[in-house]
A and B are shown apart, each in its own frame.
Chain A
Amino acid sequence: MSAEPLIEASDVAAGYDGTPAISDVTFSLCSGQRLALLGSNGGGKTTLLRAVLGELRIFGGTLRVSATCGTVPQTERSRLDYPVSALDVATMGTLATLPWWRRPGRREREAAGRALERVDLASLAEETFGRLSGGQRQRALIARALVQDAGVLLLDEPFSGLDRPSGERLEALIGELAGEGRGVVIATHDLEQARACDLVLCIAGRQIACGPPGEVLADVGVLEATYGGAIVELPGGGGRAILPPHHHHH
């Protein structure tokens, strides 16, 4: 693991229109690490991802991001009726390397094609993005991040709405990408997903805890503070689970 962290946050506060939506966020993400960003809906997960992306002004603290960030936003936000193919979406990752007046050419499309092969989507390169399944859309957006040569991947609720095979396939891909030395941030409210990561960062407006999943998730106090007390003990020693939060689709 390299000594230089890809993301280093110290007492970060960020939000919208002058009101902080998150505060006291301190963590660092190194090469090859997967960080689960755990919290209920409205707890500030997406806000933190947007702050890392440079989309939001930081009110306090310091946030240093020393790698290109590729983002995989929640799919319902990306426009499903937009007239682009999976290949077009992956090709968007090449723009940062081109001068503003140039459109991506053959070389850029070839790079995008290789990224689609990497995420096992080459056969659907010409399909309209909005007609792909949920898991296929996530993989097309990951291909876009690969084309960007992103050192950090930010995934916002990547598993929501996926069936089990698609979820497992995506999880394997995320594992491979971390294995290549990328840092991965996964916003989720799923404890099982969080357990599979190297680090867990719990937020509920402010940072509740950050550390290895074995420590953080063992502390009932942390989970109750993160989810507002909606924790249940599973019968028969099955561990703890969160009552499913109400889904608010923006």
Chain B
Amino acid sequence: MDMPTPSLQILSRKARIVERLLEVLPADAVVHDPNEVRAYECDALSAYRCPPLAAVLPRDTAEVAAVLRVCFEERVPVVPRGAGTSLAGGALPTADSVILGVARMNGVLEVDYPNRFIRVQSGRTNLSVTGAVESDGFFYAPDPSSQLACAIAGNIAMNSGGAHCLKYGVTTNNLLGVTMVLMDGTVVEIGGPWMDAGGLDLLGVVCGSEGQLGVVTEATLRILPKPEGALPVLIGFNESEVAGACVSDIIKAGVLPVAIEFMDGPCIKACEAFAKAGYPDCEALLIVEVEGSEAEIRHQLGLITEIARRHNPVEIREAADEAQAKRIWLGRKSAFGAMGQINDYMCLDGTIPVSSLPHVLRRIGELSRDYGLDVANVFHAGDGNMHPLILYNANLPGDQEKCEALGADILRLCVEVGGCLTGEHGVGIEKRDLMEVQYGAADLEAQVRVKDVFDPRWLLNPAKVFPLHVTAGRRAG
């Protein structure tokens, strides 16, 4: 993975830059010791590491603005960081950059039930947003798997999804407004506790811009009343393709589950070994969850199992109660951990039209055989968001490169069938060089021009999202 050569001019000015940062922040909010900055050398894409020049931990919007003004004047790149859980390297530093971590900004600013929103500082974790309102019967819907750790700032940067977005949408559908600081220190308020934009929908383009347009310090989020109840059904099949066809039939039938999760044979076996969830021994599993009152849940599960029976399932297991529901989810929720126990793996995030599921699963199987690397599939099938896990051995020379090449081929396949490179993890550095598979030169140029407007000096997270050659002239400027 190429990263731009760090600017010697910036590295040589470290002492002055740190001094200026200390003028606007308390001493404990500026990390500059070469050993201490190593805490910020990577995110959850830990194959790539680079300690930053320094890291700052501001407490509020005013401090963020002060830090950014300093970096703007000193022309130092800034890499915003939520909780550092990005799987795409979105928060990977360069040696000449300052990490701006929002972890200390974790307060709840306002809770408003009649208008169904909460306003929080952006460093608050996803799960603790729900935590602030759940005793009153509300929740924040987007639920990425990392929700215990990940910050709202990172959710907004990556437009994070989760298992339940089939019904509730992703971050952009649940974000009403932000307070954002531009690279030059300007504070901008976009949106608020109302339901649309008066002019251009800037909120729409800020969400998912991977920390390249501004640093979001506060967010107004839509909260929803908790459903009366929710229960899953587990359905096992002897073939992945049949499970794929079943997903398509469920969606077409007019039932709208909150989640349809898919696991294939290799993944089921690993989860069984790891979590002992008691899954049937089969080639594909669906976990379909529905919500409502007891009677509503039973009615919907009835419709779903009726559809499933037409596809000769090997097993149908309706959760009778909360305890059984937990068991059904147990394996799925520990899938990534289970795979990590037995192997190094790379997690992909391509999305495909649901109708292409059987074809894509077959092709992934063929590619896996061609490369001689196992691929386990676990994903949000309802919205076509695949998470193929490619298993490899990081200690075997050449295996990581082989794994990345297979990953690229799978993502090309996703684009070929009408899908995209990433459904919820973001581009970061990981998929940066594949962007031209999905978009033409003019399409990328149009996106790059948006950054020109928000960050004309190209100092915010500059080496991400776009192939380096596309942004070379701008970053140099």
- Is A bound to B? no
Give residues in A with beta carbon < 8 Å to B: none
Q: Which residues of B contact A (CB under 8 A)?
A: none
